Structure 1
Amino acid sequence: MSVNMLVPMEVGICCVDLPALSRFYQDVLGFTFVAQVQMPAAAAQRVGLSEGGYSVVRLQTPYGERIKLLAPERTPTRHVDGLILDRQNASYLTFIVEDIASLVADLKRVGASFFAGDEAIQLRPEVKALFCRDPEGNVLELVEYGDIAAYRPDFFNHRSA
């Protein structure tokens, strides 16, 4: 059995300060605003998301992936202690970027915090990575590939001459 997906996957992120987090993803990471909607408490309860209502902002990448920032009426609790994979239910968003170093100043300016310093680590030949938290503590992975076409041949056509 498999899911018959009709559009690219979307990721939902629970947040406290919806306007600030929306600005972060738009201004620093280049997402485009799609829509904002308000969900009433009755619908939120029926679907199992929240006792109260919530607001949703949808943002999109140039490739069509979307994130949904969800701000419930009741402030959610934060659990951000420890190393990323040392806690159950850990999750993070991965962004494949052209130049990690060029993003660091912008990330610092808007309050991102870094794991193990603010310089990319060489994970293996041709692959660098850096982990940080957005202003609300969500974990982001930035990865830079020396040969992006080898990593994602589905996006890049290899034609030999």
Structure 2
Amino acid sequence: MMEHHVGFAVLDLNKIIHFYQDILGFSVLDLGIREGKEAGAPLGLPYVKYKILRAMPPKGDFFIQLIQFLDPKPKQLPTRGHTDLGFNHVGIEVDHIEQIYHKLQSHHIPTESPPIVMKESGVQLLYTRDPEGNILEFVEFPRERKRELERLRQSV
């Protein structure tokens, strides 16, 4: 098995498209509307109508699905914290974490801290949230770790 995609249900697809495409540089793969019994069946619903966007990060081995449910209407849940049980965050590998940090800062998007270098591994981490509160972790590996990871990926 391997990762394929991560899906987020969102309230405002237009606002979230701007964040992922214009600020983070994701490429939009497709955007559409799904509706009817067939669209609802995999979700265990008799009927559903939603807008869906699929987008891939610049260094993409997976994509994200952003879904705005139109019918039935979604219920707003409290924003999850880092230590809450269940789904926690999406990790995205990047090459230039400092550039991402500065871009987020220039758009007044808060981060948990500046990029942090983990002493033991040399990995740099940066956490932020998208406009709807979903936690994103950006990860930059040092060169030697990148080569090691690439060998592991090819051997699987």
Following TM superposition, by how much is the alpha carbon of 1:49 offset from its aligned partner in structure 2, in angstroms? Answer: 6.6
Residue of structure 1 equivalent to 2:17: 22
Residue 121 of structure 1 contacts residue 129 of structure 1 at CA under 8 Å; is this kept in 2? yes
Decide whether the 8 Å contact of 1:38 with 1:53 is kept in 2: yes
How far apart are 1:43 and its partner, in Å? 3.5
Q: Which amino acid aligns with 1:152?
A: E
Question: Structure 2 residue aligned with 1:153, among 145, 151, 154?
Answer: 151
Per-residue Cα deviation, 1:43-89 (whole angstroms, up to 9, x for no partner): 3432227664111011123545221110011244133243x1x2121
**Would the alpha carbon gap of residues 78 and 106 (structure 1) be closer, same or farther in structure 2, given more than 3 Å must change?**
farther
Deviations 1:81-104 (A, max 9, x none): 43x1x2121231111112212111
Q: Residue in 1 aligned with 2:109?
A: 112
TM-score (norm 2): 0.79
**Inter-partner Cα distance in structure 2 for 1:43 and 1:144:** 40
Query: How many residue pairs align between the two structures?
Result: 148
More off after superposition, 130-139 vs 96-105 = 96-105
Q: Find 2:63's aligned residue among 63, 66, 90.
A: 66
**Cα root mean square deviation, aligned:** 2.6
Q: Distance in 2 between matches of 1:49 and 1:30?
A: 34
Contact 1:149 1:155 in 2 (8 A): no
Q: Distance in 2 between matches of 1:38 and 1:134?
A: 22
CA contact (8 A) 1:111 1:135 kept: no
Alpha-carbon separation, structure 1, partners of 2:98 and 2:44? 37
Percent of aligned positions that are identical: 23
Q: TM-score, normalised by structure 1?
A: 0.77
Cα offset for 1:125?
3.6
Which stretches in structure 2 are left out of the alignment for 5+ residues? none
Q: Higher helix fraction: Structure 1 or Structure 2? A: 2
**Unpaired runs of 5+ in structure 1?**
157-161
* 1:113/1:134 contact within 8 Å kept: no
- Partner Cα separation in structure 1 for residue 44 and residue 24 of structure 2: 27
User: Match for 2:37 among 37, 42, 45?
Assistant: 42
